[in-house]
Every structure is written in C-alpha cells, then in structure tokens.
C-alpha cells in the first residue's frame, strides 16, 4: 500500500498538479465559425480549473481530421487565438491544461469533409454514427489511405502540437483511443493492410508510435501523453490480440519517455469488464504516469491510488454538471446530474450554467 490520495499534489513532468483528479476529454460540439473554440469555452474550462489537470475536448489536427459537427481545431491562426483565451483563463485560476489532438479517420461524414470520403487504414466502414447536420447519422464509407499520405498525417500532429504550445497549453495528449484513426491502424478489425502499416502487431502500431514520437520531438516528451483504449468497442472497433498489441505499444511508449499513458479501462463510458485485459501489465511496463479512466467514483479512485494501480484518476461526465467536482468529492457533497438534452451543441445552457455546490447550498 502507498500513501497516495486523490487530493495530494502530483509532479507530472516539469509541472505540479494541485491534485490527482484529471478532467477527461468531453466532446461538447460548441465550436464557433471556423471551428474556433467558442467565447464560452474559456469560461467553461476555467470553471473546472480546480482539477489537477484538464484535458480538453478532442481537437482536430487538420480539416480532414474532423468527424463531428462543431468540434474545434488547432490548425488555423484563428483557432490558436481562440485556444489562447482558454489557456489564459485556466492558468489565471491556477489550473493546468493539455489539449487532446485528434484525427477521427473513418468516423466521419462527407458533409463535414466538403464531399470527400473519410480516410482509414482500410476501406472498411465503421458500424457507428456521427453528429452532423444537428443530428446523428451513419458514418460515410471511407477510403484507404495511400502509403505516401501517412507522413502528412504525422506532420499534421507535429504541427498541431507546436500550435498547442503557441496557444499556451501545458502539453498535448495524442488521441490513440475510442476507434479513431490511430487506433484504427492498431486494431486488425479495421486494418487489413499488407504494407508496412498492416499485418503484424509492430506494423499496426507504427502510425500511432510515429505520431507520438513526432509530437514528443516537437514539444518535449515531458509535455506529451497519449490516450489508449485496449478493449473498448467504441465506434465499432475490434481487435483479435489486444494484450499483445498494447503490451508492445506501451513498451515503445516507455522507450519514448513520454509523460503519461491515459488508459480507458473497459468499454468507453460502459462496463469496465467488457473484455479480459491485464491493465497491470501496462502499469508495469510504463515507468512514468499512469492515468486510469472509466467508471471511477471516489471509492474506486481512492482504492486504486492506495494500491498503486494508478497515479492519476480521470473523471469524465461528472465534470459536466459539477464544475467544482474536486471540491464536492473532497467534502462529500452530492453530485449534480447532467442534463443529456444539452450535452451536444447549443450555447450556455448545460455548458457554463451548472452551479457550484456552495451556490446551491446557500440559497
């Protein structure tokens, strides 16, 4: 047993977090024209700055990378300027914030891509839906990426990481989870290529590792993390060999010396026991920070920290209706319930208007 507790400070690379609570990425579909973070985004994130670390909503590294309506990018000057307001607001409140960099791959729709087909490791359509034209629709048929296109995608992530630092972020999380492009390459349910990016465990991991290495080279390994979801079926993804695949991936990430791995344990937003997997194997293979994610409440978080199963604990949807989640967890105050009708799209309602517990209890 260790003496780790959820509310202790924690050293992550060169920065110190006020506590071990992480705000997980949460897609809210509220970007303004040009896919610029909305005027409300700075307020939204600043309200939640008591988290030890905020990881932003998934953010496109290029126009091609978009898969959902009104999600922000970080590849234009206007987008960088918009994010600069967010990071300034969070830092003013004493918080720390990383941006999650995203390419959705096949989880997209032609209406979001100017009529172009989504891209993927192989031309296999995902059994999932996306949010487009103010509603949910089946994703479009993808095309397989050509070999000579892959260096451009690596460079898009590299440039987005540089843009993130220019926008004032403390670091970057590479989105390698939840059925999006990097995971599509890693898992054989979506990747049937026969070139250097398909077939073996090593080949299927190649793009994810090249992207992570490029980001770490650009901004420093100590400011680089990655999100992984070894067994989540999110967005119709599947794999025949997740343990071998992710043991290998984490061995390579350890060699890169990045700051953290952020692991979705089980099905994203669903059962933790969706499929057998030894997460302790990843923990043993990675000497830096392990962020545990999925279905954590106060009791499970405290237990896993005490047992050394994780260093930081990520909370997702509880942060939506509880901007003061850290304070509520620490004081034992009840948690507010999220309004699902305001989860995706819209304005302040269900975004920046959830009250702090202190405000409700003093009425």
pLDDT in tens, 290-306: 999 999 999 999 999 99
> The whole model's pTM is what?
0.96
Vertex 109 angle, CA 106 and 115, to 5°: 115
Q: Three-state SS for 330? A: helix
Pair type for strands 21-23 and 312-315: parallel
The reported pLDDT for the residue numbered 362 is 54
Instruction: Give domain 10-361's CATH number out of 3.20.20.70, 3.30.930.10, 3.40.50.2000, 3.40.50.150.
Output: 3.20.20.70
**pLDDT class for 3, splitting at 50, 70, 90?**
very low
Work out the average pLDDT over 247-264: 98
Dist. CA 339–CA 150, nearest whole Å = 40
Per-residue pLDDT tens over the stretch 269-298 = 988 999 999 999 999 999 999 999 999 999
- The verdict on whether 180 is a catalytic residue reads yes
Active-site residue identified among 44, 45, 180, 260: 180
Instruction: Name the token pair of 76.
Output: 């234009």
Pair type for strands 289-293 and 312-315: parallel
């Amino acid at each position: 047993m260790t003496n780790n507790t959820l509310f202790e400070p924690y050293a992550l690379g060169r920065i110190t977090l006020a506590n071990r609570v992480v705000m997980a990425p949460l897609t809210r579909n509220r970007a303004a024209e040009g896919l610029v973070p909305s005027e409300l985004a700075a307020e939204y994130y600043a309200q939640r700055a008591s988290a030890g670390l905020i990881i932003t909503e998934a953010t496109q590294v290029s126009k091609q990378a978009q898969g959902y309506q009104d999600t922000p990018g970080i590849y234009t000057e206007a987008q960088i300027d918009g994010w600069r307001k967010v990071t300034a607001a969070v830092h003013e409140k004493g918080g720390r914030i990383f941006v999650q960099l995203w390419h959705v791959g096949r989880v997209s729709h032609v209406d979001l891509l100017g009529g172009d087909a989504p891209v993927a490791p192989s031309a296999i359509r995902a059994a999932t839906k996306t949010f487009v034209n103010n509603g949910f629709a089946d994703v479009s048929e993808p095309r397989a990426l050509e070999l000579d296109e892959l260096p451009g995608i690596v460079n898009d992530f590299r440039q987005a990481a540089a843009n993130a630092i220019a926008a004032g972020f403390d670091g970057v999380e590479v989105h390698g989870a939840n059925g999006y492009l990097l995971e599509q390459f890693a898992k054989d349910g979506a990747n049937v290529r026969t070139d250097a990016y398909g077939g073996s465990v090593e080949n299927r991991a190649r793009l994810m590792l090249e992207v992570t290495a490029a980001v770490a080279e650009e901004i420093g390994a100590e400011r680089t993390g990655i999100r992984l979801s070894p067994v989540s079926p999110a967005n119709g993804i599947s794999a025949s060999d997740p343990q071998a695949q992710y043991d290998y991936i984490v061995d390579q990430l350890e060699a890169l010396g990045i700051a953290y791995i952020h692991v979705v344990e089980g099905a994203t937003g669903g059962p933790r026991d969706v499929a057998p997997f030894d997460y302790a194997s990843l923990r043993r293979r990675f000497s830096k920070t392990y962020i545990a994610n999925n279905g954590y409440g106060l009791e499970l978080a405290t237990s896993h920290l005490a047992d050394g199963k994780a260093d930081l604990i990520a909370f997702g949807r509880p942060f939506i209706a509880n901007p003061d989640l850290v304070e509520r967890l620490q004081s034992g105050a009840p948690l507010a319930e999220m309004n699902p009708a305001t989860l995706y799209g819209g304005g302040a309602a269900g975004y920046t208007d959830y009250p702090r517990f202190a405000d409700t209890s003093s009425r």
